[in-house]
Every structure is written in structure tokens, then in C-alpha cells.
Structure 1
Amino acid sequence: MVDENFLAERFQENRPRLRAVAYRMLGSLSESDDALQEAWLRASGADTDEVRNFQAWLTTIVGRVCLNMLRSRQQRKEDSLEIHIPDPVVCAEDDTNPETVALTADSVGLAMMIVLDTLAPAERFAFVLHDMFAVPFEDIAEDLEKTPAAVRQLASRARRRVEGHAPVPDPDLAVQRTAVDAFFAAARDGDFEALVAVLHPDVVLRADGGVLRASQTVMLSGARTVASQAQLARTMAPYVQRVLINGTPGAYVVKDGKPFSLMSFNVVGGKVESIQVILDPERLDAVALQLAA
């Protein structure tokens, strides 16, 4: 068995990757930290004599812990709200923290995280570990007690759902920011047609008010419907702060020193394809802590 200090060093150097695995599996930053703690307890008590690739070994341990957490979550059916937006990773536009970069890499915006939340635990496990972290199907099959062919089908089914409901945003961050800036400029000016022009015809807006603002938990679709709603928020435009949310341009609205909302945009082909809005005061306080860190 390897020295525990050596194992602790391997765990720490892989921590950004491991937390990224947990976040993509769970969509919750606090649960991701819990998963890493549980994974370390399992790893530190395991026989490592046959381990040759510690990164791959630790990745599968974290994935397995998260799979169990997802299955437990599904059994409890703890999420009663029909619309739930996963925890955002929010940072300044010039943030280069390695852990933040790992969490927001590969265009895993909130739109994709929402779709990942709709997958069955086994589908999410197969898709995240294989498609996002290059874990071989043979290794995933062992954890799921399925054949590699069956796991391949799980990942393929998950991939089709993700591609169908969460298109990859434009690779150029400047193009995305231009669309977001145009959205707020039009909202500020009350220019309805300009708002419609920057929105994809089938744009979807999801707003998660949480328990405290449950009445504000809504989903709207269609450019003209979403544009009408955006016009109602024109008074908030002067209080918008530019941020990155899961690696894509977003807006953090702070009025009178208090966070009011967080808006994430998925921009595809220069058009806003989806908008995710968090209005839950408790989660907005957590965002304030992220930005202050």
C-alpha cells in the first residue's frame, strides 16, 4: 500500500478535476464537496498496490460516490420544484483560478447542467465519465454492473438528449458577450423589436425563485413572450454587473447593496437560445460569497 502522504498529494493535485467530475454529476457545489470528502475516505482506506493510474482511479471513485448520491436523491424525490436550476459557478471575467477553470471547462453551461439533471443516474454516470473525462466504457461497465455495450448505449442516449436540448454555445466568448450586451441594451431602452432580434425564435427562459420566491419560478418560451418579460425588468438594467457563469457571459444584478438576480445566457449562432435566471435569495447570497472569494 502506498504511503498516505503520497496518496494525499495525488488527491490534492487532482482535486480540480475531481471536483469538476462531482459538479457535473450532481449540479450542486456543496454536494460536490461532500462527495470529495467521502471519496477521500474511501481512497485512503483502499488497497492501492495494483493502482497504476491514480488520476483514473480517483476519478472512478468520485464518480461512484456521486452515482450513489444521485440514486439516493432520486429515491427521496427531494426536489419538489418543477423548475430547478443547478448551482452556478460564478466568477469575474478575468478569473484564472485552476479550480474555477476546471469547473467551467468544456462549455458546461447552466443550460447543459439543466439537461444533465433530467438524465437517469446511470445515464449521467456513463455520459459524464466517458464523454467529459474519457473514462473507458469497460471501467464504467464494472461500476454499473453492465456490459460495455450496454454502457455505450446509455452514454449514446444521454448524448442525444444533451445535444438536442442544450446546443453548444458559440466558441468565441466575444460573440456571446455581444449578444448579451445587446439584450440588456434593448431591455434598458425598452426596444421590443431589438429584444426579439437578439433572441432565438424558440428561446426558453427559466426562472428559479426557490422556496422563498416560489411564485417567481416560471418557464417561458418564444422570442416575443420572453422579450415581453425582459421589458418588465428594464429598471434592473442599470444595476447589471458583468460576470462569467459556468464559463459563459452572464449578469449579476445588485441593487442597493443586495443581490437581486443572476442571469445566465446560452448564445448559439449569435442569438440567445436560452436564459437561466436565479432569484432565490439564499442561492444569491452564495453567489456573493463566490465573487468575494
Structure 2
Amino acid sequence: MTGATEPTAVFAAQRPRLFGLAYRMLGSAHDADDVLQDAWLRWSGADTAAVTNPAAWLTTTVTRLCLSRLTSAAARHETYPGPWLPEPVLTADRALSPDDTAAQRDSVSLALLLTLERLTPAERAVYVLREAFAYPHREIAQIVGVSEANARQLHTRARKRLAEGGDPAPAGPAGAGRAGWLRLVESFLAAARHGDLPALEALLAADVVAWADGGGRVTAARLPVRGRGRVATYLARTLGGARRVGHAVIAEVNGAPAVLGFAGDALVGVLEVEVDGGVVSGLRLHVNPDKLAHLAHQLSQRAGLRGRLSDGSA
């Protein structure tokens, strides 16, 4: 390499892909940013002129930094106040990474990121590198620091463990199904905001489950709420009392439609609504302000969101 600024330019060009890798491995945009900062410090202090393949060098560095963090992250999740959910990120218009394909955007679904929590750090690294980025096993072995045979075994084991837990359900439809999803969510939010329990229950599956991630920062259920009646009552109390939420819009979050709640211009919540068979089968509510910071920053980089929902606040 030549030129004093070239290492900076090389890292900047690789950064979106590296962030996508770190986010998929960690399920945390904040931690992914920290990893990239550490990677930059190592890159800026390295003899970059001697690096023949900067992309491979940086991928290996980021992957191994993530492996170190995953072990401590598992312990943090066990002591997290209430359900731990991955940080939501915007994925419309390839906002997570300009190089993301449709398949790669599917690989950041909240359901899949939660399922990946079942894997060991090495299994998760191999799975993400293979399934999301299509690295060959030989290169994965070099990145992770194992033999090629071991890399293949880790990939097979990871896929088996994920299959045992069932395929993650999509949060919302694409294409023609989106209009029906929007109508259902419109009705769902209106019923919840007005405390209309009969109407709300009619929109919920019998075995619906609601998770809320407040992280101890804001009031949120510490345990999953299960069952149509309990979820309806919980939502009517939670959303009906949340008068600080002025309006809501639909945006693509982690590859699926989600509801963003605002108080003025401030993002105060993200609601992922899983729909199955024409009813709401699952809900994930993100209200921890720390976990909303990255998505809020993404929003600040956009001109604005369209598609305001009538949420009963008017």
C-alpha cells in the first residue's frame, strides 16, 4: 500500500460489511460499533503495507474480536433485567450495509438472531460466515482459527441445533401480503390504544406470546406474557397508557415490517408484530433507550418516514 491515507480509505470501504458481520454475530449494534473501533485501532497500528489481503485481515480481526465478546455477552444476557432482545436496525434500502442481498437481510431477522443465541461462539461465527456471507469452509477455518474439518463440523452442528428449535417465523409478509398485514396492525393498535379487549382478543392467536425489552431503563414486563387474554390485557394497559407515544409509522426493521413509535421526533419504541394465519402470533417490544439509539441514528440520516399509522392518539 502507498499513501498515508490509504489505510483509512481501505477500512472505510470495508466498514459496512464488517459492521454487518459483527452485528449478526453479536445481535448488538452498540457492541458491533465497539468491535469496529477496536478493529480500527489494530488496523491503524499494523504494518498495512505488508497486508496482501486487507479484506481477509479485517474479517479475521473482527470475527475474533466478536468471539471474545460472545463469551462475556452470554453471561450478561443471563443477568439482564427481563427478556433480552437483539437491537433493532433499519434494513430498508440496504441501510444495514449497501452490499447486503435479500438473503443477507433475511439473516438479520430478530427471530433468527434470537435463535442464534443457542449456539456456541464458534458455531455462531461459522454459521454467520457460511450462511450470511457464503465463505467457503477453507476460508472460514482460517478466519476462526480451526481446521477445515472442524469448521465443517461446527457448521453442521450449528444447523442441526437451529433445526431442533424449529425454523424462525417471519415477523411480517412481503409483497401482496403486506397490505393485509398493515390492515391487521392498524386494527390491532387501535384496539390496544382504546382498551377494546374483545376486539383485541379477536386479533390474537390463542397461544400468542409478548416479550418486552426495557433493560431496567424503562418499565416493561420482566417475563414473557402468554395467552390471548393475558396479552390483550397487558397490551391495553401498556399501549393504552402510553400517551407519550404521539404517532407510529411502519418501517422495515431487521428485514420485516415493524411499528416505530414516536413522541414528537423522538423514537420511544419498536414493535415487531408476528402474523400467522391472519392473527397476531407474537410480539416483541423494544423500549430500552440504549437499544434504540442506533436505529434512531439511522432515522436521523433519512429525510423522513412515510406511512403514518392511525394509532388512536389523535
Q: Give the structure-1-normalised TM-score.
A: 0.79
The Cα shift of 1:185 comes to 0.8
Contact conserved, 2:7 with 2:48, CA < 8 A, in 1? no
Alignment partners' CA distance in 2, 1:115 and 1:162: 7
Q: 1:176 to 1:210 in 2, by over 3 A?
A: farther
The Cα shift of 1:35 comes to 1.1
Alignment partners' CA distance in 2, 1:269 and 1:56: 44
Contact conserved, 2:94 with 2:100, CA < 8 A, in 1? no
Which of 198, 207, 216 is 2:212 aligned to?
207
Q: Describe the SS at the equivalent of 1:216.
A: coil
108-117 vs 37-46, which moves further: 37-46
Contact conserved, 1:27 with 1:87, CA < 8 A, in 2? yes
Q: 1:173 to 1:85 in 2, by over 3 A?
A: farther
Matched, 1:242 2:254: no
Contact conserved, 1:176 with 1:248, CA < 8 A, in 2? no
User: Mapping of 1:214-225 within 5 angstroms?
Assistant: 216-225=221-230
Alignment partners' CA distance in 2, 1:166 and 1:19: 23
The Cα shift of 1:99 comes to 3.2
2:155 aligns with: 155
Q: Describe the SS at the equivalent of 2:251.
A: strand
Matched, 1:172 2:174: yes
29-38 vs 238-247, which moves further: 238-247
Q: Describe the SS at the equivalent of 1:60.
A: helix
CA RMSD of aligned residues (A): 3.6
User: Mapping of 1:72-91 within 5 angstroms?
Assistant: 72-74=72-74, 79-90=79-90
The Cα shift of 1:18 comes to 0.9
What amino acid is aligned across from residue 209 of structure 2 in structure 1? V
1:29 aligns with: 29
Structure 2 stretches lacking a partner, 5+ long:
302-314
160-169 vs 62-71, which moves further: 160-169
Q: 1:20 to 1:287 in 2, by over 3 A?
A: closer
Q: 1:134 to 1:182 in 2, by over 3 A?
A: same
Contact conserved, 2:106 with 2:254, CA < 8 A, in 1? no
11-20 vs 207-216, which moves further: 207-216
The Cα shift of 1:196 comes to 5.3
The Cα shift of 1:192 comes to 5.5
Matched, 1:280 2:282: no
What amino acid is aligned across from residue 252 of structure 2 in structure 1? L
User: Mapping of 1:20-169 within 5 angstroms?
Assistant: 20-44=20-44, 45-46=46-47, 49=50, 51-52=52-53, 54-74=54-74, 79-90=79-90, 95=93, 97=95, 99=97, 102=100, 105-163=105-163, 164=166, 166-168=168-170
The Cα shift of 1:69 comes to 1.8
Q: Give the structure-2-normalised TM-score.
A: 0.74
The Cα shift of 1:260 comes to 4.1
Query: Any idea what the Cα deviations from partners look like across 1:83-123, whole Å, max 9, x if unmatched?
Result: 111111147x6x56463774972352222222223422111
Alignment partners' CA distance in 2, 1:162 and 1:273: 20
What amino acid is aligned across from residue 249 of structure 1 in structure 2? P
2:184 aligns with: 182
Alignment partners' CA distance in 2, 1:272 and 1:48: 55
What amino acid is aligned across from residue 239 of structure 1 in structure 2? H
The Cα shift of 1:57 comes to 3.8
User: Mapping of 1:247-258 within 5 angstroms?
Assistant: 247-255=255-263
Q: Describe the SS at the equivalent of 1:105.
A: helix
Query: Any idea what the Cα deviations from partners look like across 1:25-76, whole Å, max 9, x if unmatched?
Result: 1122122112112223333415665735x43443222112211222343467
Q: 1:74 to 1:254 in 2, by over 3 A?
A: closer
Q: Describe the SS at the equivalent of 1:265.
A: strand
Matched, 1:292 2:300: yes
132-141 vs 1-10, which moves further: 1-10
Q: Describe the SS at the equivalent of 2:216.
A: coil
Q: 1:76 to 1:273 in 2, by over 3 A?
A: closer
Alignment partners' CA distance in 1, 2:284 and 2:262: 17
What percentage of aligned pairs have identical amino acids?
33
Contact conserved, 1:176 with 1:270, CA < 8 A, in 2? no
Alignment partners' CA distance in 1, 2:273 and 2:138: 36
What amino acid is aligned across from residue 110 of structure 2 in structure 1? L
